Amino acid sequence: MSELAVFGGEKIRKKPFVSHAIIGEEEKKRVNDVLESGVLSGFIAKAGGNFLGGRQVKEFESLVRDYFGAKHAVSVNSATAGLHVALGALGIGPGDEVIVTPYTMSASATAIIMQNAVPVFADIDEDTFCIDPEKIEEALTPRTKAIVLVHLFGRPAAMDEITAIAKRHGLFVIEDCAQAPGATYGGKPVGTLGDIGIFSLNQHKTITSGEGGYIITDSDELALRMRLIRNHGEAIVEDMALTSIENIVGFNYRMTELEAAVSIGQFKKLDFLNDHRIMLADYLSKKLSGLEGLVLPAPNKKDKDVYFVYPIKIREEICGISRDDLIKALQAEGIPVAGGYVKPIYLEPLYQRKIAYGKGGCPFSCPFYKGEVDYSKGRCPVTERMHEKELMVTGVCKHPHIKEDVNDVANAFEKVFEHKEELRNFKA
């Protein structure tokens, strides 16, 4: 092939990949209907029918319940809010610890701090990139009350092992499914295997209303408590004759009718969009399979991976090129790839300095907290190795991209691999 673009050669990919959401006629019509109705939010912070929101919100929640076979669906204005609502409903509070993966969007952990509890990070499995059940066991203390797991990149975590641990130790399980709507584990939808499942409708997710999210559970009690926390619950508990009001300090986490209208149209496309991602991911795996030193996704056959992004591990000792040099060369060819995912959460200043609320260091030095949590570098070595040296991700396996777009990605990889010696010599 021709000279590498990083050295001034012609790029493989000359036009940008599409990154925006795909909005159709149903979303537009529903939004217009809401605008014409003049009811942009149907919620009222008062016991009664409007406590549950407007017509579009209720229709959206009904769609979610039917799709997942869940007893309850609770819409929220973001998945971050959903995590906060879930932890509050479960009774998490000062002095408690919650085990969470360090390799996820920051809210999976900060939602724990929002309840004045302390996140304890357990390392990931290097094949799934999800939390490692063995490391959960190692992180348990008498203060542990729950596990927040993330089905990262659209791939299910090891739910059998995790739920078994939770059952043995009397822990709650929250599934953060923001990147995995429609994924399944052992034939069951993710989000239905723990106590509570949380999904995102953020702009960058598979389906989107710009912002927004939804929660599923089969528990009547948890559903009520989550709805109260969503909608100014402290002003409503008396009318509802609720006696257990711990953590029912309500917020405004309500979804608007406009968001719900878009969400309905988007939700109906979920299976189609996931199937398209799977088709492109399988195609890319076949195209890259002959390149030594790349470790491609290999999902368990009993699970359904919906490929929020396509992850690749680099074995530098085999392919003869570092991950970062490979990324630079691919980016120069016009291919959107990134190294790692996010910095391990515990390395952020909040955790390194153990300061969240006030100057006293709460919740880490809260009088109710009797533990000592470790956020030092090296705590989760697999996560750090993936982030710093081995993992790269690309988001090209999604609609409206087609196989011809994926061909550009594969061709760029092949071109770079053919010129590995030049890259090594240039670095030297």
Active site residues: 205
> Do β-strands 144-150 and 118-121 pair in parallel, antiparallel, or remain unpaired?
unpaired
Q: Which 3 state secondary structure label does DSSP give 166?
A: helix
Are the CB atoms for 259 and 77 separated by under 8 Å? yes
Please return the burial class of 142, using the count of CB atoms within 10 Å of its CB with bins 0-12, 13-18 and 19+.
Answer: exposed
Of all helices (H) and strands (E), which one includes residue 276? Answer: helix 270-288
Half-sphere exposure of 243 (CA within 13 A, CB side): 0
Instruction: State the sign of the Cα–Cα–Cα–Cα dihedral 43, 44, 49, 51.
Output: positive
Looking at residue 210, the DSSP 8-state letter turns out to be B
**Per DSSP, what are the bridge partners of residue 295?**
313
Are the CB atoms for 228 and 235 separated by under 8 Å? no
The total number of residues shown for the chain amounts to: 428
> Do β-strands 391-394 and 310-314 pair in parallel, antiparallel, or remain unpaired?
antiparallel
Are the CB atoms for 411 and 418 separated by under 8 Å? no
Strand ranges (E), 157-293: 172-176, 184-185, 188-189, 196-200, 213-217
Give the list of residues 6+ apart from residue 122 with CB closer than 8 angstroms, or none.
Answer: 99, 100, 101, 102, 131, 132, 135, 136, 138, 139, 380
Q: Where are the alpha helices (DSSP H) in 69-144?
A: 79-89, 107-114, 133-139
